[in-house]
Amino acid sequence: MKMHRYEEIWLTCGISLIVVFMLITGYQTFAMDMGPPSHIETIDPQKVDQTAPFDKPGVNKIGENEYEVVMTLESFVFTPADIEIPAGSTVHFILTSKDVTHGFEVAGTNVNAMVMPGYIQKITQKFGEAGEYLVVCNEYCGAGHQYMSTTIRVV
């Protein structure tokens, strides 16, 4: 079977483009570390309250200007709520959900993650400027979804 000349050209172009896009995406994800936040660490969503570190949700100082925020999400609250940290701190968020999929978006930053039951989500963010940062759930999670928010006060 002989292929038409133009068919060959277009087929080559199409396949080349797919390869180029895959290379660009792969480079950004692995070499530039621009992949979406994800962490394959699992947890039994029924036993979050008994499983470390989620048995003690809160803000822990772990170094000079470095904090760890262990947080649980459930309909329709973030625990702990109203976090306060000093300006210039790097914060490592460790998150999980106790019921359904929730979102964790910190307005004014690049922090935007999906928090799923059964999985532990980890995100690191530096808070350089003082201010109030609104934290919202951006995954529809039920009747109270629009009220699910808290704040991070950077002082």
Binding residues vs ligand CUA (CB under 6 A): 76, 102, 137, 139-141, 145, 148
Q: Least distance from C-beta 135 to ligand CUA, angstroms?
A: 11
Q: Least distance from C-beta 91 to ligand CUA, angstroms?
A: 20
**CB of 89 or CB of 151, closer to ligand CUA:** 151
Q: Least distance from C-beta 56 to ligand CUA, angstroms?
A: 22
**CB of 21 or CB of 140, closer to ligand CUA:** 140
**Residue 137 and residue 155 in contact, taking contact as beta carbons nearer than 8 Å:** no
Would you tell me how many other CB atoms lie within 10 Å of the CB of residue 97? 28
Q: Least distance from C-beta 29 to ligand CUA, angstroms?
A: 27
**CB of 94 or CB of 135, closer to ligand CUA:** 135
**CB of 69 or CB of 115, closer to ligand CUA:** 115
φ, ψ dihedrals at 121, nearest 5°: -105, 135
- Sequence-ordered list of residues with C-beta below 8 angstroms from that of 77, at least 6 positions apart, any chain: 148, 150
Q: In terms of DSSP H, where are the helices of the chain?
A: 5-26
**CB of 86 or CB of 144, closer to ligand CUA:** 144
CA distance 84 to 119: 25
- Please report, for residues 34, 52, 70, 132, the alpha-carbon distance to residue 121 in angstroms, rounded to integers and kept in the order given: 16, 14, 10, 23
Q: Least distance from C-beta 61 to ligand CUA, angstroms?
A: 28
